[in-house]
Amino acid sequence: MGLPCRNDDRVKRSVVRILRKTSIENLVSFDFEKFVFRWDSKKHAGYIGLKNQGATCYMNSILQTLYFTTKLRKAVYDMPVSQDDSENNVALAMQRVFYDLQHSDRPVGTKKLTKSFGWDSLETFMQHDVQELCRVLLDNLESKMKKSPVEDTIPNLFRGVMKSYIRCTNVSFESSKEEPFYDIQLNIKGKNNSEYNKVSVFCLFVKSFLV
C-alpha cells in the first residue's frame, strides 16, 4: 500500500508468526492496521478509511461512494431508526459507519454492519456481488426513510426511468412503456483506459436499444 511501517523486517516476521498460530476466526478480530501502520490519514489527508475484514474491499468501496454522496449522508443521519434488535438493523449500522467516517480519528470497522446482514466471520472472506450489495443497502435505507421528511431521497438521487417504445413509420402511432431503474449495466469489455469514459459507454448502451 506504500504506507510507512515501523521496522519492516520485524513486522513481517511477527505477522508470519501470527498467521501460523491464529485461526481464521481470530484473524478477523486482529487489528493488523494498529499493529503495522503509523500513518495518520486524518491528519495528512483529512479523511479516514474502512478496515478490510478479509475480502470486504468491494463493500468498502461502495460504502465510501455512498458516504460521499452528501445528500444521502444527510438523509441517513436524519432517518428514524429504532434501537430495537440493533444487531440486525442495517440502517442503524449504516448510521454508525457514516458517523464514524466523519468523526473518528482511526480507520472504521464494519463488523456491526456485516453482522446486521446476518454474515458470520467466514462470509467476510468471500467475495460478494457489489451491485447486489448496493441494492440491499439502498433498499434497507429507503424502507427506513418511508413516512419521514427524507422519504424521497433515494429515488431522487438514484432512480431513473427507461422508456421503451415502438413507433410506426407510415402511420402516426406509438406504443410505449416506462419502467423505473436504479442501476444499469454498461459493457466495458475489451476497452482500454483511453477508450473508456462514462458518456461514451452510456451512449453505446442506449444505441443497443435502437433497432
Question: pTM score, two decimals?
Answer: 0.67
**Residue 23 forms part of a structural domain:** no
Residue 157 lies in a domain: yes
List the CATH number of the domain containing 204. Answer: 3.90.70.10
* 134 occurs within a structural domain: yes
Instruction: Give domain status of residue 112, yes or no.
Output: yes
Q: With b meaning 16 or more CB within 10 Å and e meaning fewer, what string describes 152-172?
A: ebbeeebeeeeeeeeeeeeee
pLDDT in 10s for each residue of the chain, 211 residues = 334 444 455 555 555 565 565 565 555 555 555 555 566 777 777 888 899 888 888 899 999 999 999 999 999 999 988 765 678 888 899 999 999 999 998 889 999 998 888 888 777 778 788 888 898 899 989 988 999 999 999 999 999 898 888 888 888 898 999 999 888 777 666 655 555 566 676 677 667 655 5
Is residue 8 in a domain? no
Q: How far apart are CA 80 and CA 149, in angstroms?
A: 10
Radius of gyration, alpha carbons of the chain: 22
Please give the residue range of the domain that contains residue 127: 42-185+195-208
Cell of 134: 448496493
- As for how many domains the chain has, the answer is 1
